[in-house]
A = this chain, B = another copy of it.
Amino acid sequence: MIRIKYHAPGTPPATLVPPPSDHTGPPRITLIQYDRETIFEGQFDSFEELMTRFDSTKINWINIDGLNDIALLRKLSEQFHIHPLALEDVLNTSQRPKVEHYEDHYFIVSEMIYRDEQSRIAVEQLSLFLGDCYVVTLQEESKHDVFEQVRARLRAGRGYARKMKADYLTYALLDSTVDQFFPILETVGESIEEIEDELLSKPTKDTLKSLYQGKRLLLQLRRAAWPQREIFNTLIRDDTGLISKETQVFLRDCYDHSTQIIDILESFRDLAAGLMDVYLSSLGLRTNEIMRVLTVISAIFIPLTFIAGVYGMNFNPDHPWNMPELDWPYGYVACLTLMATVAFGMITFFKRKHWL
């Protein structure tokens, strides 16, 4: 659940090892190049081919899906002056979200959390390099990403999308990753309410399991959400000139969303913790009730059974001191009366204790 990917201890720094992945083919390299008037979209077989199209007077968004081509990454690194350690972080896909400033670009690691086709929660690392005229994004898998609507907006050319610079594109991409949290949080909220209902009506081992898994999921989301807010906090305080004042207003909005996400996460954690208490209490209450029933029934019948046992003894009735009651004409009636009295006494006792 908590992904710990790491190089074998002692590996030299900046060693490039592709992350284990189901994805085997060559990476998919695409370019979207645009300015206010024009937009070009293309897929390339090699990085060299792509660079022939690169135009520093426009905004170039290079997206690479799949991290298994080390040679490609080296070329990328050379072209955009990417530090070897940053490149290593791109490949070590269990990085904590962070932003680092290098001489002429920002390096941002974020997490894309989304529901995949089977509606399971998938986590994928997004590495992003933001320079003055380019954005390079690197993703683990090629099957799915959360940027389709950013692309659609670029194509349509409406709104701010094409009027602003690479920093705004970066904002749009990061905003897409943040927005993914909300539908997931919504599901979590719903499942907490379901668990709550179950707990108060009929708690089972499965309820417990769901609750624990919910807590684990919240932990995972939290580990992504807190550093993500840090990223926005760093970017809106940017003084490198890579991010314009105008875009910072938009990033402030992302920061607000992150804060809201963290707020909701913490509330959910509080609720989940409270539910565990409710669970324990509700178990205690049930045990209590069960015990009460057992005790009441036992306490009433055990003495009665004892009395019956006494008069079932076979002492020789020829001796006058041996069980003379058995020979009384109304012995049985007396015995039943005694039993009824005992039972009645017990019931009164329990009523007074509010156990009945």
Contact A322 B314 (CB under 8 A): no
Q: Which of A180, A185, A204, A212 has the most CB of B within 10 A?
A: A212
Q: Mark A307-324, 1 if CB is under 8 A from B, else 0.
A: 011111111110101110
Q: Mark A24-55, 1 if CB is under 8 A from B, else 0.
A: 00000000000000000000000000000000
Copies of chain A in the complex: 5
Contact A267 B315 (CB under 8 A): no
Give residues 268-291 of A contacting B (CB, 8 Å): 268, 270-271, 274-288, 290-291
Report the nearest B residue to A83, measured CB to CB: B249
Is the C-beta of A14 less than 8 angstroms from some C-beta in chain B? yes
Enumerate the 5 nearest inter-chain pairs by beta-carbon distance, A residue then B residue, closest first: A10-B149, A308-B309, A9-B179, A6-B182, A311-B313
Is the C-beta of A20 less than 8 angstroms from some C-beta in chain B? no
User: How far is it, in angstroms, between the C-alpha of A166 and the C-alpha of B301 when the chains are bound?
Assistant: 80
Interface size class of A (residues with CB under 8 A): 35 or more
User: How far is it, in angstroms, between the C-alpha of A283 and the C-alpha of B335 when the chains are bound?
Assistant: 38
Given A10-B148, A250-B85, A284-B287, decide whether A315 and B305 contact each other with a Cβ distance below 8 A.
no
Is the C-beta of A237 less than 8 angstroms from some C-beta in chain B? no
Q: Mark A293-313, 1 if CB is under 8 A from B, else 0.
A: 111011101111110111111
Q: Which of A100, A180, A183, A282 has the most CB of B within 10 A?
A: A282
Is the C-beta of A241 less than 8 angstroms from some C-beta in chain B? no
Q: Which of A83, A161, A250, A309 has the most CB of B within 10 A?
A: A309
Contact B274 A4 (CB under 8 A): no
User: How far is it, in angstroms, between the C-alpha of A14 and the C-alpha of B253 when the chains are bound?
Assistant: 10
User: How far is it, in angstroms, between the C-alpha of A243 and the C-alpha of B283 when the chains are bound?
Assistant: 56
**Other A-B pairs beyond A200-B205, A301-B303, 4, CB < 8 Å:** A95-B260, A219-B271, A287-B291, A321-B333
Is the C-beta of A252 less than 8 angstroms from some C-beta in chain B? yes
Q: Which of A252, A264, A281 has the most CB of B within 10 A?
A: A281
Contact A11 B260 (CB under 8 A): no
Contact A10 B287 (CB under 8 A): no
Contact B306 A315 (CB under 8 A): no
Report the nearest B residue to A333, measured CB to CB: B321
User: How far is it, in angstroms, between the C-alpha of A288 and the C-alpha of B160 when the chains are bound?
Assistant: 61
Give residues 84-98 of A contacting B (CB, 8 Å): 85, 88-89, 94-96, 98
Chain B residues near A333 (CB, 8 Å)? 321
Is the C-beta of A71 less than 8 angstroms from some C-beta in chain B? no
User: How far is it, in angstroms, between the C-alpha of A297 and the C-alpha of B290 when the chains are bound?
Assistant: 12
A181 shortest CB reach to chain B, Å: 9
Is the C-beta of A75 less than 8 angstroms from some C-beta in chain B? no
Contact A314 B311 (CB under 8 A): yes
User: How far is it, in angstroms, between the C-alpha of A94 and the C-alpha of B263 when the chains are bound?
Assistant: 12
Is the C-beta of A153 less than 8 angstroms from some C-beta in chain B? yes
Contact A297 B297 (CB under 8 A): no
Give residues 56-73 of A contacting B (CB, 8 Å): none
Chain B residues near A295 (CB, 8 Å)? 290-291, 293-294, 297
Q: Mark A141-179, 1 if CB is under 8 A from B, else 0.
A: 000001011100100001111000000000110011001
Neighbour of A271 across the interface among B153, B216, B253, CB < 8 A:
B216
Neighbour of A281 across the interface among B193, B250, B279, B299, CB < 8 A:
B279
Q: Can you list 13 pairs linking A and B with CB atoms under 8 Å apart?
A: A2-B268, A6-B183, A9-B179, A9-B183, A13-B175, A88-B253, A196-B212, A280-B280, A284-B284, A314-B323, A315-B331, A319-B331, A321-B332
